[in-house]
Structure 1
Amino acid sequence: MSPEAASGRIARRFSAVRQELRPALVTFFTAGDPDLATSEKILAALPEAGADIIELGMPFSDPMADGPAIQAAGLRALEAGQTLKKTLAMVRRFRERDDDTPIVLMGYYNPIYQYGPEAFVRDAREAGVDGLIVVDLPPEEDEELCLPALRGGLNFIRLATPTTDDKRLPAVLQNTSGFVYYVSITGITGSAAPNTTLVAEAVERIKAHTDLPVAVGFGVRTREQAAAIGRTADGVVVGSALVSAIAASLDDAGKATDMTVAAVTSLVAELAEGVRLSRQMAAE
């Protein structure tokens, strides 16, 4: 791994929240949803609302691991003309005013393959991207993108799931950097609420294999859930709830309204309060 990936914005942010005795709040929404201008406003507003790390979805026409909410968000973005180049340009403009908040691009390999993996790594790094989550590239395919990304200064964040047993876990973790994203439920995104007892056991098991922070996502929708997950996790990831908030704010034609940005930031503020309460609750 390059020194940049090992000591970049993601590592610094987890170190900072650790000093505050709390987990990081990791927020996800889809680039270009519901349109480019509105999604740029959302991106710009997230850090002040309480997001510590931002996952920016790369819209794709066949998002097999995503539930209906994120699938719909990707479709809205694609219909509004979002492309991978426009997503990188979003990050580049964000970096003009925020050089601290980590940005992770999350999605599928096909658009990156079409872009060209080497060119994508170069352009993503230049734009100010810190890490990648590519859900359909297993460890056996690390030569495709993971290793080039690490050499290029990007973190490559891997998913672990409830079915990732101790035999499989070392392979998953081998070239993972930045943090481990633990998917707290099996199935598609947004499909259930996490079991906090099982999550705590899983986080402890993963930490026995790695020194990387462990962030937990899938199914977290409320301040209370964020607080409960944050008692043991190093990060709490929220995606479908934010994407659903965007959808609920749109007009009958599916267009942004004056409430769209506020719908996201108000929920992020509640979730941020939850992660700040989590370790306090654990100590009581």
Structure 2
Amino acid sequence: MQPTLQRTSRLDSCFAALKQQNRPALVSYLTAGDPDPETSRRLLHGLPDAGVDIIELGMPFSDPMADGPAIQKAALRALEKGQTQAKTLAMVRQFREQNSTTPIVLMGYYNPIYCYGVERFLSDAAQAGVDGLIVVDLPPEHDEELCQPAAQHGIDFIRLATPTTDAKRLPKVLANASGFIYYVSVAGVTGGSAPTPERLEGAVNQLREHTQLPIAVGFGIRTAEQAATIGRFSDAVVVGSALVDCIEHASSGEEAIAQVHGLVKALSASVRGCREPQQERAGLPA
């Protein structure tokens, strides 16, 4: 397989720009196709204007073992409405017709990628405008399966580090990572209890000693106040279950859009104002 031409990484450009602004990135998660294809499309297209810097788009899977009830139900809603891997990639292609700068990271599990065909998936994803992958059930021991081929297609492979990732394991986790490191703030599934800021800050600072990649913090962040607190010491704040909850509890597609984009605007305002003007943030690319 011949590698594709190396393009300028949208993720690198995004983090470099935010370093100049002295603020963290706001990363939002939504499940592709939830609650239905048209509402999902409108939700996705409206995220940048609402203040999202990086989009995580979930690839629906019938057995999302790392996700809590909210995202599990979102995946099932999407699948019931006919969402497929091909349709998820088509959503990215349509998004790129209007937006060529906002990074999109696909998040999910290896099974749907394997069934689609790894080489076909990576080729289609690169052509669609996907910037990165988070595949939660594919450990570093299997980097030759997806991580290394993804790099040949110019797609970053984002690794998860957790509170249980010890010093012996960490080098393997970081070895072929790119884009950013996703620090899972709680030991458990998505949508869990709120993290303790003091413990999180110590863990993030310790992780910085081992990588130059930006560090995003996610799992358990639901409010603008929490986002601001964590944004003071992280390079990115990830919010997912709180947005998915808005969709679940909305009485219509229009209400879902209003609720999701409204919460994003509040989160965006909080991360934009979370640091003192003179505060420096180590670890970001120049």
Q: Tell me how far apart the structure 1 counterparts of residues 74 and 246 of structure 2 sit (CA, whole Å).
A: 11
Structural mapping, 1:92-171, within 5 Å? 92-171=93-172
Q: Tell me how far apart the structure 2 counterparts of residues 154 and 113 of structure 1 sit (CA, whole Å).
A: 17
Q: Is the 8 A contact 1:185 1:194 kept in 2?
A: yes
Secondary structure of 1:147's counterpart equals helix
Q: Structure 1 89/2 Cα, relative in aligned 2: closer, same or farther at 3 Å? A: closer
Q: Tell me how far apart the structure 2 counterparts of residues 221 and 79 of structure 1 sit (CA, whole Å).
A: 27
Structural mapping, 1:107-256, within 5 Å? 107-249=108-250, 251=251, 256=252
Q: Tell me how far apart the structure 1 counterparts of residues 5 and 191 of structure 2 sit (CA, whole Å).
A: 35
Q: Is the 8 A contact 1:27 1:54 kept in 2?
A: yes
Tell me how far 1:61 sits from its aligned partner: 0.2
Secondary structure of 2:260's counterpart equals helix
Tell me how far 1:276 sits from its aligned partner: 1.0
1:265 equivalent among 261, 270, 278: 261
TM-score for both structures, normalised by structure 2: 0.94
Q: Tell me how far apart the structure 2 counterparts of residues 257 and 53 of structure 1 sit (CA, whole Å).
A: 23
Q: Tell me how far apart the structure 2 counterparts of residues 21 and 2 of structure 1 sit (CA, whole Å).
A: 33
Q: Is the 8 A contact 2:39 2:253 kept in 1?
A: no
Q: Is the 8 A contact 2:54 2:104 kept in 1?
A: yes
Check if 1:19 corresponds to 2:20.
yes
Letter in 1 for 2:71: I
Letter in 1 for 2:146: L
Tell me how far 1:281 sits from its aligned partner: 8.8
Q: Tell me how far apart the structure 2 counterparts of residues 178 and 158 of structure 1 sit (CA, whole Å).
A: 9
Tell me how far 1:4 sits from its aligned partner: 3.3
Which deviations, in whole Å up to 9, do the C-alpha atoms of 1:11-49 show, x marking residues without a partner?
000111111100000000000000111000000000000
Report the counterpart of residue 9 of structure 2 in structure 1: 8
Q: Which runs of 5+ in 1 are unaligned?
A: none
Report the counterpart of residue 32 of structure 1 in structure 2: 33
Secondary structure of 1:258's counterpart equals helix
RMSD: 1.4
Q: Tell me how far apart the structure 1 counterparts of residues 5 and 53 of structure 2 sit (CA, whole Å).
A: 22
Report the counterpart of residue 45 of structure 1 in structure 2: 46
Which deviations, in whole Å up to 9, do the C-alpha atoms of 1:191-246 show, x marking residues without a partner?
11011111111111111011000000000011100000001000000000000011
Q: Tell me how far apart the structure 1 counterparts of residues 195 and 133 of structure 2 sit (CA, whole Å).
A: 24
Tell me how far 1:278 sits from its aligned partner: 1.5
Which deviations, in whole Å up to 9, do the C-alpha atoms of 1:160-218 show, x marking residues without a partner?
00001111111000000000000000001001101111111111111101100000000
Report the counterpart of residue 75 of structure 2 in structure 1: 74
Report the counterpart of residue 282 of structure 2 in structure 1: none
Report the counterpart of residue 283 of structure 2 in structure 1: none
Q: Tell me how far apart the structure 2 counterparts of residues 26 and 105 of structure 1 sit (CA, whole Å).
A: 12
Q: Tell me how far apart the structure 1 counterparts of residues 81 and 4 of structure 2 sit (CA, whole Å).
A: 36
Q: Is the 8 A contact 1:4 1:154 kept in 2?
A: no
Letter in 2 for 1:82: Q
Q: Tell me how far apart the structure 2 counterparts of residues 239 and 176 of structure 1 sit (CA, whole Å).
A: 22
- The sequence identity of aligned pairs, in percent, is 61
Q: Structure 1 85/162 Cα, relative in aligned 2: closer, same or farther at 3 Å? A: same
Q: Is the 8 A contact 2:24 2:234 kept in 1?
A: yes
Q: Is the 8 A contact 2:228 2:274 kept in 1?
A: yes
Report the counterpart of residue 276 of structure 1 in structure 2: 272
Tell me how far 1:108 sits from its aligned partner: 0.2
- Quick check: 201-210 or 61-70, which moved more? 201-210
Structure 1 residue runs of 4 or more that deviate by more than 3 Å after TM superposition: 1-5
Letter in 1 for 2:257: V
Q: Is the 8 A contact 2:66 2:190 kept in 1?
A: yes
Tell me how far 1:280 sits from its aligned partner: 2.5
Q: Tell me how far apart the structure 1 counterparts of residues 15 and 268 of structure 2 sit (CA, whole Å).
A: 15
Tell me how far 1:95 sits from its aligned partner: 0.2
